[in-house]
Amino acid sequence: MNPIIEVKNFTKKYGDFTAVNNISFHVEEGTIFAFLGPNGAGKSTTINTLCTIFEKTSGTLLINGKDVTTQKSEVRSTIGVVFQDSTLDSKMTIEENLKMHCVFYNIPKKEVEERIRFVLTLVDLLDERKKSVAALSGGMKRRVEIARGLIHYPKVLFLDEPTTGLDPQTRAHIWEYILKLQKERNITIFLTTHYMEEAEICNKIAIIDNGVIVAHDTPYALKKEFTKDRAYISTKNEAELEQLLVQYELKYEKKEGYYKVEAEKLDCLLQVLSLHKDHISNIEIKKGTFNDVFLEITGKKIREEA
């Protein structure tokens, strides 16, 4: 596949402070890429530099082969951006906001109507086009922002926390649109999120912490490397279970009323369970989660305050 975003040895300093420290990664065309990290990790700094808003300190950042420092206007015509905070004019209607954006992008007048229809159809808002933005729900506003980000038919769409602050149902809808854009339009999506279940939907994830990329892979590979499945066993004969766990070299922790056992060596675990089956009062096997991946790699939860 073709890398549409290429970042090599990117560093960004604010005065003496290094916010992003020599990171490299690439994003394949037509994929969904998630940039994950705790507060202050360097996500916005990277996204803003890729979108030509901030200047890099050093390194190379290319979008569709164009340099974000020396070919700004070529890059801008290739990308759409949806920021965390709404930048819609709430005094105007949906349609007026989109028309204004067409002017910014020098879209020929004869194409404006067709493009507005196209992008509003994508986010299911065509019938609402005459509504004032001030009257829209948070989820609808976000959909208008996505439509606006697509009006110049970009190849790459940047979404900075596209679903933050939205209720679960609206978040699910926004995701339907994101997946539709990828599947039907082959648009590359670069997003930041702190919802783990969203990161798991993406094709690739880069985890950034303190300005450094600490992991970069598919959700499946990251889970495989950084999480462990566990069995939670309650028994009526603790002495026997402990003796079997030791005998079969299974790592375990004794908790209040149950044993937490690492389920990596599945053969051994099954053997222990079969030998001990008459004493087991309850058993549950839990898969490792993406939260475990993040915790394992960064040593902190994605949002410490959450």
Ligand X SMILES: Nc1ncnc2c1ncn2[C@@H]1O[C@H](COP(=O)(O)OP(=O)(O)OP(=O)(O)O)[C@@H](O)[C@H]1O
Interacting residues toward ligand X by CB under 6 A: 14, 17, 19, 37, 39-45
Pick 95 or 209: Cβ nearer ligand X: 209
Contacts of 72 (CB under 8 A, 6+ apart): 52
Residue with smaller CB distance to ligand X, 95 or 198: 198
Contact 160, 84 (CB under 8 A): yes
Q: How far is the CB of 208 from ligand X (least distance, A)?
A: 7
Question: In terms of CB distance, is 68 or 233 closer to ligand X?
Answer: 68
DSSP class of 108: -
**C-beta of 39: minimal distance to ligand X in Å?**
4
Least distance (Å) from ligand X to the CB of residue 48?
A: 8
Is the sign of the CA dihedral 72, 73, 76, 78 positive or negative?
A: negative
Provide, rounded to whole angstroms, the least separation between the CB of residue 15 and ligand X: 7
Strands ordered across the beta sheet of 230-235: 252-255, 258-262, 230-235, 280-286
Burial 102-130, CB ≥16 within 10 A → b, else e = beeeebeeeebeebbeebbebbebeebbe
In whole angstroms, the minimum distance from the beta carbon of 216 to ligand X comes to 16
Tallying the residues shown for the chain, one arrives at: 306
User: CB-wise, 44 or 298, nearer to ligand X?
Assistant: 44
At closest approach, how far in Å is the CB of 33 from ligand X? 15
Nearer to ligand X, 16 or 278 (CB): 16
Comparing CB distances to ligand X, the nearer of 42 and 154 is: 42
Q: Nearest approach, Cβ of 297 to ligand X (angstroms)?
A: 15
Nearest to 261 by CA among 227, 232, 225, 239: 232
Q: Which is nearer to ligand X, 40 or 168 (CB)?
A: 40
β-strands 32-36, 204-209 pairing: parallel
State the DSSP string of 211-278: TEEEEEE-HHHHHHHH---EEEEEES-HHHHHHHHHHTT--EEEETTEEEEE-SSHHHHHHHHHHTGG
Strands 188-192 and 32-36: parallel
